Every structure is written in structure tokens, then in C-alpha cells.
């Protein structure tokens, strides 16, 4: 027997003994490192090949490789045996099938989505339809048809993300007024919730992506009192039974007269005092509203001498701040489940 053959025989019997003694996967891995690792016994033998006469080297290399193959196969068998022993042990455990299971984690509707659903449901019960529209609009729908021509300073107020010279991410849901009236003859009664985008700096009251809900009612004989009644009812639905609604004169090119809409602060119930929710005024601002401007009705082919209408546009996140008494609008978009799950 050559010297190498004797060394290989010795190595194999030491290997077999080591594998037999390895009781778990970690011990088996140590055996692999000792024999087949980078500084293991096989590597030492390989280094010895260099000392042999050149003509013996190929045979010696092959002999070592054959042994390595066998060792690897034995390691794999031993690994399989260990796994099946662990599996058997697991099977033989007694399981108490009557033990109560932990509660499954379930999600809830996001508070912003809940407010959208509540407002839609309030208006649907009054016969309004819910309509959805594109978030990318031509300036024609977003401005021109809403009585805001190209040189009108009101365009500056909607600091918009422009995509091309004529296309923009809508900064408000009011284009849905035009889209709806273009497609349907009066009477019209719709609400249109959806995402809006503005180049506003993010702070406690502003996001660059937020949600609005637009409302539009157009028919014969519609007046400001209808608007007041609808919005007062909506505030009571969202915030409680004794909410009041206040209309402050304002300006929007697409409504005349126009108003900013406030509701009594649901925290201090309108008392003001040192309320940190409303800053002591007793009122919270929700959005804009007014009677649809005659030019807007004309732009969609309606006759302002025959029909009239009201419209409003409220920020959903602002409704959320008020409803849940939260002091920072960013909480809604931070995706903190522990925080969001508290709001129902």
C-alpha cells in the first residue's frame, strides 16, 4: 500500500468515527470543517501532492478526490439522519389542541378612508351619486372651465405640479364639477372624493398630497340655504349632534357668492377659552363653498337663468384633524399602525 493510500484509509476511519459521534447539526458541521474545511485534513494531504514525483501526481489527486466525494456523501447521509430524528421527536410531542389560540392580527380601515366613506354615505342617503375622476387633468378642466383664465391670479393660489405645459396633477377636486356637468344634463347631485396635489411645504396642517371631497348640486331653484342645510347636516354626522356651521365671505372664481366654511370646534364645543384645537376661536375651518358661478354653468352649456347650484370642496385630512382631535396632519401618513388603530 502506498503511503498516500494508508493516509487516506486512516483519514476515512477517523472521519467515520467523528461522524458517528456527532449528535447534532453543530457537531456535524465541526466535523466537516475539521476534515473538508480550508485548513482541514484533506487540504493537508493535497499539499503533500507537490512532494511526489510528477508522474504520480495525477493519480494521487484522483485518489484524494474520490475519497472527498465519499466523505461528502457520508456527511449528507448523517445530516439527513439528524433531520429525521428531529422530525420524529417533534411528532411525538403532545399538543394540547384545546389551548386558546392567540388573536389573529387584523387591520382596520384607514381613518381618512373612513371619513371619505362617512361623507359619501351621508350624501348618498340624500340621493347624491359618488363620482371619481382622473388625478392628472388638463388646465382646461382645472382652471379655464372653472372661470380661471390663463392670466388670472387665482392660478397662483393653486401651486401645482405641472406635467406638461397644459397637463397638471390636480390641486383640487373642482375639475369634477366640469366633468360631471359636461356629461349630464341637470339636475346634478354628486360628491367626488379624491387625491389632490400641491407644491405646499409640509407642516402640521399641509401635505403635498392630500384628499378633498367636492360636492355639487345643480337644479332649478337651488339657493344658499340648501348649501347651509347640507353642510350643517354633514358636520353633525361627522362631529356630533350640536355642531353649528358658519359661512365667512371669501372668494373663489368658480362660485359667487363664495364662503369659507367653519364648524364649531368639537373639542371645546365652540366655547374657545384656552382650547388648543381651535386656538381659542371656537371655530375650525373645513374648506370652501359657494353658489356655482354663472360663467361655469355657461361653460358647460347650462342656462344660468334656468338652473342654479351650489358647490363645496373640503379637505378630508382637515376633517380628520377635527374629528379625531389630532394636532398634526402628518400622523395620517406616517403609517404607524399603533396610532392609526386607535382612531375609529
- Footprint on this chain of ligand FA5 (rule: CB under 6 A): 172, 174, 198, 200, 206-207, 210, 212, 214, 252, 255, 285, 287-290, 311-315, 317-318
Q: Which residue bears the cell 351650489? A: 310
Nearest approach, Cβ of residue 171 and ligand FA5 (Å): 7
Nearest approach, Cβ of residue 162 and ligand FA5 (Å): 17
Which CB, 35 or 141, lies closer to ligand FA5? 141
Question: CA 130, CA 31: separation in Å to the nearest integer?
Answer: 70
Which CB, 194 or 270, lies closer to ligand FA5? 194
Among the listed residues 298, 229, 293, the one whose alpha carbon sits nearest the alpha carbon of residue 261: 229
| Beta carbons within 10 angstroms of residue 85's beta carbon | 12
What letter does residue 39 receive in the DSSP assignment?
T
Which CB, 7 or 211, lies closer to ligand FA5? 211
Nearest approach, Cβ of residue 309 and ligand FA5 (Å): 10
Nearest approach, Cβ of residue 251 and ligand FA5 (Å): 10
Among the listed residues 221, 233, 293, 296, the one whose alpha carbon sits nearest the alpha carbon of residue 261: 233
Question: CA 195, CA 171: separation in Å to the nearest integer?
Answer: 9
Q: What is the DSSP string of 261-321?
A: EEEE-TTTTT--TT-TTTTTSSEEEEEEEEEEPHHHHHHTT--TTT-EEEEEEEEHHHHHH
Three-state SS at 169: strand
Which CB, 7 or 255, lies closer to ligand FA5? 255
Question: CA 16, CA 4: separation in Å to the nearest integer?
Answer: 18
Nearest approach, Cβ of residue 116 and ligand FA5 (Å): 14
Give the phi and the psi of residue 159 in degrees, each rounded to 5. -70, 100
Which CB, 67 or 326, lies closer to ligand FA5? 326
Residue nearest to ligand FA5 (CB): 315
Question: CA 282, CA 272: separation in Å to the nearest integer?
Answer: 4
Nearest approach, Cβ of residue 331 and ligand FA5 (Å): 13
> Which residues make beta-bridge pairs with 213?
193, 314
Which CB, 11 or 261, lies closer to ligand FA5? 261
Which CB, 179 or 318, lies closer to ligand FA5? 318
Nearest approach, Cβ of residue 202 and ligand FA5 (Å): 8
Amino acid at each position: 500500500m502506498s503511503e498516500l493510500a494508508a493516509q487516506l484509509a486512516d483519514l476515512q476511519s477517523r472521519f467515520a468515527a467523528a461522524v458517528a459521534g456527532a449528535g447534532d447539526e453543530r457537531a456535524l458541521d465541526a466535523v466537516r470543517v475539521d476534515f473538508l474545511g480550508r485548513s482541514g485534513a484533506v487540504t493537508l494531504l493535497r499539499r503533500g501532492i507537490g512532494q511526489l514525483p510528477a508522474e504520480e501526481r495525477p493519480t494521487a489527486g484522483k485518489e484524494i478526490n474520490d475519497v472527498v466525494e465519499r466523505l461528502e456523501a457520508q456527511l449528507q447521509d448523517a445530516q439527513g439522519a439528524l433531520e429525521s430524528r428531529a422530525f420524529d421527536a417533534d411528532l411525538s410531542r403532545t399538543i394540547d389542541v384545546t389551548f386558546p389560540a392567540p388573536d389573529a392580527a387584523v387591520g382596520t380601515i384607514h381613518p381618512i378612508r373612513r371619513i371619505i366613506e362617512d361623507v359619501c354615505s351621508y350624501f348618498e342617503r340624500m340621493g347624491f351619486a359618488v363620482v371619481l375622476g382622473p388625478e392628472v387633468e388638463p388646465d382646461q378642466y382645472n382652471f379655464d372651465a372653472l372661470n380661471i383664465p390663463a392670466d388670472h391670479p387665482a392660478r397662483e393660489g393653486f401651486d401645482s405640479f405641472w406635467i406638461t405645459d397644459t397637463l397638471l396633477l390636480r390641486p383640487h377636486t373642482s375639475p369634477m364639477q366640469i366633468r360631471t356637468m359636461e356629461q349630464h344634463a341637470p339636475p346634478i347631485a354628486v360628491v367626488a372624493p379624491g387625491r389632490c396635489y400641491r407644491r405646499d411645504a409640509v407642516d402640521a396642517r399641509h401635505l403635498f398630497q392630500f384628499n378633498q371631497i367636492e360636492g355639487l348640486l345643480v337644479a332649478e331653484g337651488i339657493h344658499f340655504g340648501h348649501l347651509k342645510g347640507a353642510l350643517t347636516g354633514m358636520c353633525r354626522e361627522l362631529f356630533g349632534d350640536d355642531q353649528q356651521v358658519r359661512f365667512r365671505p371669501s372668494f373663489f372664481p368658480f362660485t359667487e357668492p363664495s364662503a369659507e366654511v367653519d364648524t364649531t370646534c368639537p373639542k371645546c364645543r365652540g366655547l374657545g377659552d384656552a382650547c388648543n384645537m381651535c386656538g381659542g376661536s371656537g371655530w375650525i375651518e373645513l374648506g370652501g363653498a359657494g353658489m356655482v358661478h354663472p360663467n361655469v354653468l355657461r361653460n358647460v352649456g347650462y342656462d344660468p337663468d334656468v338652473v342654479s347650484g351650489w358647490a363645496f370642496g373640503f379637505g378630508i385630512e382637515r376633517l380628520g384633524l377635527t374629528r379625531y382631535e389630532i394636532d398634526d396632519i402628518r400622523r395620517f401618513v406616517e403609517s404607524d399602525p399603533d396610532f392609526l388603530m386607535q382612531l375609529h
